[in-house]
Structure 1
Amino acid sequence: MQRSGSLGACLLGLLILARPSPGGGEKPLQAPAGWTTASPREEIRPHFDFDPRGGPDGKGGWIIRAERRDGLHGWWARSWPVTGGKHYRFAAFYRASAVSLPRRSVVARIVWQDDRGRKVPLDKPSATTFAPAGTAIAEAEYPATRGSDQRGWTEVSGIYRAPAKATRAVVELHLLWAPGGEVCWGQVALVESAPPTPRKVRLATVHYMPRGGKTPLDNCRQFEPLIEKAAQARADLAVLGETLTYVGLGKSFAECAEAIPGPSTEYFGKLAKKHGLHIVAGLVERDGRLIYNVAVLIGPDGKLLGKYRKVCLPRGEIEAGLMPGNEYPVFDTRLGKIGLMVCYDGFFPEVA
């Protein structure tokens, strides 16, 4: 197996892929040896091309071009030999045009296989609570998008451990669901790598129902000793309960609602700064005539990093006149990217 990670060796040989598109009339496709094209069905197969001078480094571009009709889906594929138990770094770059949602339509994935081209099992045993006789299969890896340069080339990369029984990794470079769109992939590599450096984050959850309070701020104060306990355990992030400024007060959501930032975020901001941790707290927000069930994220400097308005409201909250949110913010923190969801959101795929 090559360990250099250079794409140059791949470009020395050319393979003729004599597979025309469904419409016919395409010239035989030239591509580096080992690369093939595929689609779930011929009737939704896009057009493929290879530009020897394409890509971000000018050493080759794998192109997929969709006609202006729905449902087209195709990918370039190549297999690399791997050794089970070792780590590998995948990297590729793409530049797309006329693609409305690149994160959905421009996808790279890595499929682990054995010598016979079959999927391989996970190294860890599967859960036995719902599938006692099942064998967990090592699902495909989906490398993450890392950012784009000034020329519009977007990096997709990640480090992965090959399952113990894997002997090959099939890299697929996709374009799907993008009528009239086009993508050029380039600078593709899969090389053996050191394992990623561990970076542990300590999380704390506070399971507590406020009691005996008279005001929303009374409820907030009851969490102070619990947050202090989390800090003593060196927690980096403490997550509190939903609508904690409403629970147990015997008041309506409207009576407990407040502006954000407001008194509650200011109070938890002081605790976050005192203990040097992040805090997530469930509050009730008023914005003009509208009331929201929200989760706020406060940083260790005591500042409000942002809020998420619960999207999936249960019947009781709808009947109480709450407004659903319509955004899914993701916050950059020193711990990494953090997204929030609240209770009933967990039953629906949109938030997760």
Structure 2
Amino acid sequence: MSDRPRLWMRHESRNSERRAPLVPEDAARLVAEGVGITVEEAPQRSFPLADYVAAGCRTAPAGSWTEAPRDHYVLGLKELPDAPNHLVHRHIYFGHAYKGQTGARELLGRFTSGGGALLDLEYLTDDDGRRVAAFGYWAGYVGAALAVLHHRGLLRAPLHPLDRSALDGRLAAGEPPADERALVIGALGRSGRGACDALEKAGITPTRWDVAETRALDRRALLDHDVLVNTVLTTRPVPPFLTSEDLDAPGRRLSLIADVTCDVTSECNVLPVYDEITDWEHPVRRLREGDRPADLIAIDNLPSLLPVESSRAFSAELYPQLLRLNDADTAWERALLAFGTTATTVLKGSTHAR
């Protein structure tokens, strides 16, 4: 067995991010196996710092990861602050930098200039290419739930974190409108299953599309639904599922798009009908006015609205992988290879490397 890794779980700089990639119970399991863990203070995190202390973790002030020893892996979820310019550690988080997204070149340059590396959680995969730890189910569940609530006139901004029982109570309240139609694209994946479960909870039997249906997409059938929930994550450009021209099509029934994937600044975006995500303060954006309005929900941290449930599920999948961080021939080596290949390609001028 190789030496156990040392982890430094950072504070999330985004105020609306309440999740944790590692929950106290799983941190305790890692500590018992000899993994050293430091946890930064984070007032908005849904898991008290005292619970990590009880699990055997050290603590540190928010943002102090920049001073962590070089052999520590910095663990997080969402984007890094803009400084420092040179990143010297190996960072584990969702970098959103491998598909030509805005800021990808700058971020990857920070890693290469500092000698660090991005171990992107989106590219932490098993031998079959399947992600080993994902928030997908809960992203789909929350995205579809918000879509239903908005379509029924029940969504109120700003949004606040809930537990599942409270969210389910809102979905099940009252009688659903007659002939309410919802389509889930990517229905067989993690996010798609979550979206379908939320729609069923709301009394809707969704139309389920996956690879076969998108290969020969029936655009008229798509537009004949009230709600579209997109959960497809692609790593290569494909023909779009919906275009601006579709939103202007006569007879369009579709009035709400919930884009769980939020690949808005990537050339892999399958819904090129918007150019900016929405957020907790303003969860819905109007895309078309008039007699046939069309709205958008595109929040890129949906699972944080159910922070406890989603964090526990993700942490349960991630912690066995964290035990193997220093082992040879693991998912981490594939993630490191993906970083090296992509950084080289992007920094040479290509915007899309995978």
Q: Same fold (TM over 0.5)?
A: no
TM-score with structure 1 setting the length: 0.22
Higher strand proportion: 1
Determine which structure has greater relative contact order: mean sequence separation of CA pairs < 8 Å that are 6+ residues apart, divided by chain length.
2
Which protein has the larger Cα radius of gyration, Structure 1 or Structure 2?
1
TM-score with structure 2 setting the length: 0.21
